Amino acid sequence: MSSEPTNVPTHVAVIMDGNGRWARARGKARHAGHRAGVKSVRATVEAAAERGVSYLTLFAFSSENWKRPEEEVSSLMGLFVEALRREVAELHRNNVRLRFVGALEQLGGGLQQKMAEAQQKTAGNTGLFLNVAVAFGGRWDIVEAAQSLARRAVAGEISAADIDEEVFAGALRLADIPDPDLLIRTGGERRISNFLLWNLAYAELWFSEVLWPDFDKSDFDMALAYYAGKQRRFGHTGDQVEAVKC
Ligand code: FPP
């Protein structure tokens, strides 16, 4: 398969799954899988930037992940703090703009502060735009958008009839960037798991059996090659799409 697909997705979203199974297969605690997963995050960010992807959105911690054992949640939070301490300078050097999306107010104060500092430091960068979804859920995002539009309606700023798909999309957390063209999920499951429910409406889906800590640049290239071979129709016929290209 070509490692240089011609049709590169503008926005790639990733569900990083399989850390726990990776650790169990090695007789290690789940935390070891999450820790090993940081290496794959680094490889994926590098690959995305090298291949010309403009936006990368990683699902690091879902709204539902709070239900995991307290010990696992707190070790994950510790890992996020550590990863920020170690990686932000390098991301900044590589012109990456970092943003966190989710119910960040649910996180500890120290982590929130580190996230805010990282966002501020990299805000002016013009290379890869890296979104990390933490305490995020697709349904949460939609409910938040509905609430903000309802507040505007009550304030008399908009009427119910003004709320069309464009206005609704504009109230979501990733409103300022294009929808993902490609979703990658590792770990063998074929689910969206309450990720970007609205934004993934027309994404191509690539499911990999590889467990996240084993995911590397060649796996990323496989997903990009799959995407490059797809004709995206957005409801049109194949003939219509071909006619527009001519
Ligand atoms: C899912 O695997 C993985 C997570 C819930 C956490 C993802 C976090 C990282 C990769 C750590 C670093 C992240 C950043 C952004 C620095 P799982 O635990 O559900 O695996 P399993 O399905 O095998 O149990």
Hunting for tokens 């290496």 — which residue is that? 39
Residue 149 lies in a domain: no
Q: DSSP assignment of 29-92, as one string?
A: -HHHHHHHHHHHHHHHHHHHHHHT-SEEEEEEEEGGGGGS-HHHHHHHHHHHHHHHHHHHHHHH
Residue 167 lies in a domain: no
Residue 154 lies in a domain: no
Q: Whose alpha carbon is nearest atom 6 of ligand 1?
A: 60
Give per-residue pLDDT as tens, 10-62: 999 999 999 999 999 999 999 999 999 999 999 999 999 999 999 999 999 99
Instruction: Tell me the HSE value of 100 on the side-chain side, using a 13 A CA sphere.
Output: 25
CA distances from 56 to 51, 154, 186 (A): 12, 35, 15
Query: Using a 6 Å CB cutoff, which residues line ligand 1?
Result: 16-21, 34, 37-38, 41, 58, 60-61, 65, 79-80, 83, 132, 187, 212
Hunting for tokens 């990456």 — which residue is that? 96
Residue 144 lies in a domain: no
Which one of 14, 15, 16 would you pick to mutate in the ligand 1 pocket, going by the greatest count of ligand atoms within 8 A of its CB? 16
Q: DSSP assignment of 175-203, as one string?
A: TTSPPPSEEEE-SS----TTSSTTTTTT-
Give the per-residue pLDDT at 3. Answer: 45
Residue 150 lies in a domain: no
Ligand 1 geometric centre to CA of 204 (Å): 22
What is the total count of domains within the chain? Answer: 1
Ligand 1 geometric centre to CA of 1 (Å): 28
**Residue 133: how many other CB atoms lie within 10 Å:** 26
Which one of 212, 214, 215, 216 would you pick to mutate in the ligand 1 pocket, going by the greatest count of ligand atoms within 8 A of its CB? 212
Structure tokens at 217: 């640049």
Residue 4 lies in a domain: no
Q: State which ligand 1 atom lies nearest to the alpha carbon of 23.
A: 23
Give the per-residue pLDDT at 246. Answer: 63
Residue 239 lies in a domain: yes
The low-confidence residues of the chain, meaning pLDDT below 50, are: 1-5
> Is 17 a catalytic site residue?
yes
Range of the domain at 210: 11-137+179-245
Residue 168 lies in a domain: no
Structure tokens at 63: 């709204």
Burial of 228: CB neighbours in 10 Å, binned 0-12, 13-18, 19+ = middle
**Residue 246: how many other CB atoms lie within 10 Å:** 4
Give per-residue pLDDT as tens, 164-182: 999 999 999 999 999 999 9
> Is 19 a catalytic site residue?
no
The whole-angstrom separation of Cα 110 and Cα 116 is 10
Q: What is the SS3 assignment for 16?
A: coil
**Residue 36: how many other CB atoms lie within 10 Å:** 18
Ligand 1 geometric centre to CA of 162 (Å): 40
Structure tokens at 94: 């590589």
Hunting for tokens 């609430």 — which residue is that? 147
Q: CATH no. for residue 20? A: 3.40.1180.10
